Structure 1
Amino acid sequence: MSLSAYKRTLKDTETPRQIERRILVRITSDIATYADRYDAAETRSERLGVLADGLRDALFDNVRLWSTLKTDVLSPGNQLPNDLRGSLANLATFVERHTAAVLGGEGRVTALLEVNRPIVAGLSGQVAEAA
């Protein structure tokens, strides 16, 4: 099966919620690959090395997803309840700001995982445990 046929099949069989969940799971997994190493690094230089090893790309994917989500929830036609829209927009702003700090060698990557994982659980229809 060609790649384009595969993508068409996925598009025809997955709901938007399932697609969002799949993308967020992949990005969260990519970030988790580097989180312990980054958070345990004792120097800024070590943290920047982890970023160069692949964390930077995972963070860019994450912030791109959250920025897209923020644009969607703030659009006038969005059907989500206003309080949920506001909460998601606030989370997106946090992700953008915290990612900038991590890219500068500051902050903890685990904080981004603590944002993504409950959203994954919610998209899966699970009740997320309070962190």
Structure 2
Amino acid sequence: MSIAAYKQTIRESESPRQIERRVLTRVTAALERHAEGFDTAVPGRRHFILAQGLREALTDNQALWRALRHDLADSGNRLPEGIRAALISISLWVDRQSTQVLGGKPGLDALIEVNRRIIAGLAGQAPRPGEV
């Protein structure tokens, strides 16, 4: 089966929500591969970790959230307005936070936690008490 046929099969068999969850899970896993010790590392070590692949993972995460923001802002998006507004706000925070981390500042763990919570929501899991 060609890659194009495989991608078409995925598009036909997964809902948009499942696709979003799968892509966000992949991007989050890439962030997690570089997370250990990043936020507590000295600045020079953080720059080294960024150069070892974290920079690419962060830009992929930003690109995903920008694409989500674009979709959320579209008038054809069927999510309730309040949820759309909240997710757009989160996407703007992700963009700012990612820029800080790309500059060598701590904050990677917070980005990963936000992604995990969105993944859980896309999977239909309700937040535990105290997580909201």
TM-score by length of 2: 0.93
**Who is 2:21 aligned against?**
21
The answer (yes or no) to whether the contact 1:98–1:107 under 8 Å persists in 2 is no
The answer (yes or no) to whether the contact 2:69–2:87 under 8 Å persists in 1 is yes
| Partner AA of 2:112 in structure 1 | L
| Partner AA of 1:6 in structure 2 | Y
Spell out, residue by residue over 1:44-79, the C-alpha distance to the aligned partner (whole angstroms, 9 max, x if none): 111011011011111111100101111111122221
The answer (yes or no) to whether the contact 1:67–1:92 under 8 Å persists in 2 is yes
**Who is 2:9 aligned against?**
9
SS at match of 1:125: coil
**Who is 2:61 aligned against?**
62
Count of residue pairs the alignment pairs up: 130
Aligned counterparts of 2:7 and 2:76: Cα–Cα separation in 1: 27
- How far has the Cα of 1:35 moved from its partner? 1.1
| Partner AA of 1:28 in structure 2 | T
Q: Indicate the RMSD between aligned Cα atoms, in angstroms.
A: 1.2
- How far has the Cα of 1:14 moved from its partner? 0.8
Question: What are the ranges of 5 or more consecutive residues in structure 2 without an aligned counterpart?
Answer: none
**Who is 2:127 aligned against?**
128
- How far has the Cα of 1:40 moved from its partner? 2.7
The answer (yes or no) to whether the contact 1:63–1:95 under 8 Å persists in 2 is yes
Aligned counterparts of 1:78 and 1:12: Cα–Cα separation in 2: 19
The answer (yes or no) to whether the contact 2:38–2:46 under 8 Å persists in 1 is yes
Spell out, residue by residue over 1:13-60, the C-alpha distance to the aligned partner (whole angstroms, 9 max, x if none): 111111000000000111011112312312x11101101101111111
Spell out, residue by residue over 1:75-121, the C-alpha distance to the aligned partner (whole angstroms, 9 max, x if none): 22221111101100000000000000000001320010111011100
Percent sequence identity over matched residues? 45
SS at match of 1:106: coil
Aligned counterparts of 1:14 and 1:78: Cα–Cα separation in 2: 18
Question: What are the ranges of 5 or more consecutive residues in structure 1 without an aligned counterpart?
Answer: none
TM-score by length of 1: 0.94
